[in-house]
Amino acid sequence: MSKKLITTMLIGLLVLSLGLFGCGSKTTEKKVLNVGSDTAFAPFEYQDEKTKEYVGFDMDLIKAIGDEMGYEVKVQGMPFDGLIPGLEAGTIDLVISAMTITDERALKVNFSKPYYQSGLTIVVRSDNTTITSFDDLKGKTIAVQIGTTGAMEAKKVEGATIREFNTAPDAFLELKAGGVDAVINDKPVNDYYITQAGGKDAKQVGEPLTAESYGIASAKKNTELAEKVDQALAKLRENGKYDEIYTKWFGAQK
Ligand code: ARG
């Protein structure tokens, strides 16, 4: 055999084996994205009572994003105020948790392009006739979830007593029990609570207090991941998958 032929064969073998290895790693060990979320915020993230699985708009969206990126998504339930520290410490790769993009948070983490338009509203008990606007909250007792934009907004109310709860459902429970006069929280979550999650004795009052956009957060230094998330999100908006998930959870109106 000529040297040339042997060399060609060797190169051929090398290329072949590289190809095989390449395929092998793709199919056997799917890369994992560890995603943190405070999973008590229906309809964005909550635990299905029967299957115990995490479900909701955010959960469907992040799974679709993971699929698009070729990653398996593993969701870790965490307290809302532990999510950004978790990214900073590297215990999670991404956060999807109906998290509003704010300047303050954007100093610590990267946010994806906005994926949902939201805003804060006031919830009171149905029989309440004295609170119909933000101004009426003066001097009242307000329940919020700790570390949220609702908590920040409540702190702007003159003379109000703010009670911070670990989860939004805890804040609603306290409203129901009569321990507070109002809850300030995200409108889509308030809507869901009142119509589908037992908040029959509650109502929303006034105009939305804020206009907010939710973003998917990643660690500041992980810019490559942030870019991939944005690319995947853009793809899902293009191919109709985003609309499909949106309609599943919120109906047709946008
Ligand atoms: N959008 C609000 C914020 O970013 C509340 C989010 C709370 N999310 C949750 N999964 N509990 O501050």
Asked if residue 134 lies in contact with residue 208, where contact means CB atoms within 8 angstroms, the answer is: no
Q: What percent of the chain has pLDDT over 90?
A: 85
Q: What percent of the chain has pLDDT over 70?
A: 88
Collapsing DSSP to helix, strand or coil, 145 comes out as strand
In the chain, the number of structural domains is 2
Element (H, E) at 241: helix 241-250
In this prediction, residues 87-108 reach a mean pLDDT of 98
Q: What pLDDT, on the 0 to 100 scale, is given for residue 23?
A: 46
Asked, for residue 58, whether it belongs to a domain, the answer is yes
Is residue 47 domain-shared with residue 159, that is, in the same domain?
no
Q: What pLDDT, on the 0 to 100 scale, is given for residue 32?
A: 97
Q: What pLDDT, on the 0 to 100 scale, is given for residue 200?
A: 85
Is residue 83 domain-shared with residue 136, that is, in the same domain?
no
Choose the weakest-confidence range: 26-40, 100-114, 161-175, 208-222.
26-40
Asked, for residue 6, whether it belongs to a domain, the answer is no
Whether residue 90 has pLDDT greater than 90: yes
CA of 37, closest atom in ligand 1? 10
Is residue 80 domain-shared with residue 125, that is, in the same domain?
no
100 alpha carbon – ligand 1 mean position (Å) = 7
Asked, for residue 11, whether it belongs to a domain, the answer is no
pTM for the whole thing? 0.88
**Sorting pLDDT into bands at 50, 70 and 90, what band is 26?**
very low
Q: Which amino acid is at 213?
A: S
Q: What pLDDT, on the 0 to 100 scale, is given for residue 197?
A: 80
For 225-237, how does the pLDDT look when each residue is reduced to its tens digit (9 = 90+)? 999 999 999 999 9
Whether residue 115 has pLDDT greater than 70: yes
Asked, for residue 16, whether it belongs to a domain, the answer is no
Asked, for residue 74, whether it belongs to a domain, the answer is yes
Is residue 102 domain-shared with residue 169, that is, in the same domain?
no
Element (H, E) at 26: helix 3-28
Asked if residue 191 lies in contact with residue 121, where contact means CB atoms within 8 angstroms, the answer is: no
125 alpha carbon – ligand 1 mean position (Å) = 22
**Furthest-apart CA pair in the chain: how many Å?**
97
Out of 97, 155, 166, 210, mutate this one to test ligand 1's pocket (max ligand atoms within 8 Å of CB): namely 97
As a whole number, the mean pLDDT across the chain is: 92
Is residue 41 domain-shared with residue 95, that is, in the same domain?
yes
124 alpha carbon – ligand 1 mean position (Å) = 19
Is residue 107 domain-shared with residue 132, that is, in the same domain?
no
By alpha-carbon position, which residue is closest to atom 5 of ligand 1?
A: 148
**Sorting pLDDT into bands at 50, 70 and 90, what band is 196?**
confident
Asked, for residue 160, whether it belongs to a domain, the answer is yes
Is residue 128 domain-shared with residue 87, that is, in the same domain?
no
Is residue 58 domain-shared with residue 81, that is, in the same domain?
yes
Residue 98 to residue 57: CA distance in whole angstroms? 9
Is residue 60 domain-shared with residue 128, that is, in the same domain?
no
Is residue 186 domain-shared with residue 68, that is, in the same domain?
no
Asked, for residue 47, whether it belongs to a domain, the answer is yes
Whether residue 21 has pLDDT greater than 80: no
For 120-133, how does the pLDDT look when each residue is reduced to its tens digit (9 = 90+)? 999 999 999 999 99
* Residue owning tokens 């109002």: 182
Asked, for residue 90, whether it belongs to a domain, the answer is yes
Q: What pLDDT, on the 0 to 100 scale, is given for residue 45?
A: 98
Is residue 193 domain-shared with residue 158, that is, in the same domain?
yes
Question: Which domain range does residue 201 map to?
Answer: 120-205
Q: What is the CATH number of the domain that holds 69?
A: 3.40.190.10
| Final residue in a domain of this structure, among 188, 205, 222 | 205
Is residue 134 domain-shared with residue 186, that is, in the same domain?
yes
Residue list, ligand 1 pocket, CB within 6 Å: 38, 41, 45, 80, 97-100, 145, 148-149, 168, 186
Whether residue 25 has pLDDT greater than 50: no
Whether residue 109 has pLDDT greater than 70: yes
Residue 130 to residue 159: CA distance in whole angstroms? 16
For 148-185, how does the pLDDT look when each residue is reduced to its tens digit (9 = 90+)? 999 999 999 999 999 999 999 999 999 999 999 999 99
